[in-house]
Amino acid sequence: MNNTIKQTWRWFLTIISSKKQQTSSNVVIVNRQCRKNLLTHGVHDVLVKSILKNELNRQTTSLNLTTSENLVSKAVLKANSNVFINKCAVGYSGNRYYEGCEFVDELEQVAINRAKCLFKCKYANVQPHSGNQMNQAVILALLSSGDTIMGMDLKHGGYFMHGSVVNISGMWLKGISYGIDPKTGLIDMNEVLNVAMKYRPRLIIAGSSSYPRTIDWKAFRQVANTSDSFLSTDISHIAGLIVTGLYPSPIEYCDVVTTTTHRSLRGPHGGLILSNNQELFGRISCTLFSEIQGGPMMSIITAKAVAFFETQQDDYKTWTKSVIENAKAMVERFKIKKIDVVSNGTDNHLVIIDLKVLGIADKQVTFWLNRCHIVLSKNIIPRGILPANIISILKLGTCACTSRGLKKEDFERVADMIADVLLEIKDKGKLSPLLETKTKNQVLDITNKYPIKYNV
């Protein structure tokens, strides 16, 4: 070997040696960081940690009446962050695209079995990342481009995912809608039948985002049979009440049922697809993966499984009873204060206030309430001719504050606070500093009584 070759060889060995040392050093650093994170459960990014602290403080010092939110248990919170975050598990149990999925399969099957037990159905898919994706899977599996889909009018409390033009479902399909009786605030099943017979939709979707009353699933089934339509329903808001028997179940009447796993199920953000029809369920599952989404988020499915376990416990049914009782208590207080409640009551966790009757539909009501640390939802209302960007109803939900520990008398007090704010805005066009300060102090009194015991 001549000198040139020897020098070249030494140079090559030197580079390889340095690369090995660098790689070894990086592995040590990564392993040390993993051990540190696992031991301390800490967030070492100062900026992110400060944001998390601020959000926890916001949640702790405000009353959350947002209809789509809840307060998960520490068990669900912890389960939402687990070692499955490191695992790719594309596919379904027993048919993954990656090796090392034996425990993934086991965990997913636990979640599936618990979901089937809860909802008393034959088939369950726990993989949907969100409510939008679970509904898209159903729509894409059962319909073709240009088909007609029928859901509750968005202005009457429907979901935008059920054929609204602002969603891909309404862009891809011909969306038609049914509504509620403007006098009673109730679904008019005669109108539902008339609309279905006129347009013969391929799919009818029952369910809503802002309907506080009981839905007649059997009547929807009869309409679907008459119009030769598939029937699905989205029970995202009421799923927790259904599994405890406090609200009628649609499982025996619908071809497919979808629900999110947060809201009244008190789990992580995600979706769930349920059915007793094997053929349709298979089509929908094949559409979910791989036409709608890729691999499942197994860390989220872990939290779903834990939430499903919690919903089987006796104290969960006690909680759901309180959710409904607290909503009814708020309704009665609003009536005493002469605040108009849509449909004149509630059968679930929702309380809907008509701002148009008060004449304050354009007064930034949610802004003023948020300044008082009362956080809630907003929407448009069926009886109005106002533009869609004008908030004309308030949507209140009792799930999160009931999870926090508030009792019936606390909800009555909160209803009085909200009513006082609304009535002052009606009289003066805005909230006075005096009432704002008084309301903030009342909110702080309640939040101090029922702290949120999370750690950042």
Alpha-carbon Rg of the chain, whole angstroms? 26
Between CA 448 and CA 61 the distance in angstroms is: 8
Q: What is the 3-state composition of the chain as percent helix, strand, coil, each rounded to the nearest 5?
A: 55, 10, 35
Between CA 401 and CA 66 the distance in angstroms is: 9
Between CA 119 and CA 240 the distance in angstroms is: 10
At a CB cut-off of 8 Å and minimum separation 6, what does 10 contact? none
Between CA 164 and CA 222 the distance in angstroms is: 24
- Residue 364, judged by CB atoms within 10 A of its CB (0-12, 13-18, 19+), counts as middle
Q: Write out the DSSP string of 225-257.
A: HHHT-EEEEE-TTTHHHHHTTSS---TTT-SEE
Beta-carbon neighbour count of residue 428 at 10 Å? 11
Backbone angles phi, psi at 439, to 5 degrees: -65, -40
In terms of Cα–Cα distance, which of 84, 119, 375, 313 is closest to 235? Answer: 119
Orientation of helix 314-336 relative to helix 408-428, angle to 10°: 30
143 is known to lie in a ligand binding site: no
The strand pair at 230-234 and 256-260 is best described as parallel
- From the annotation, which residues make up the binding site? 154
- From the annotation, which residues make up the binding site for (6S)-5,6,7,8-tetrahydrofolate? 154
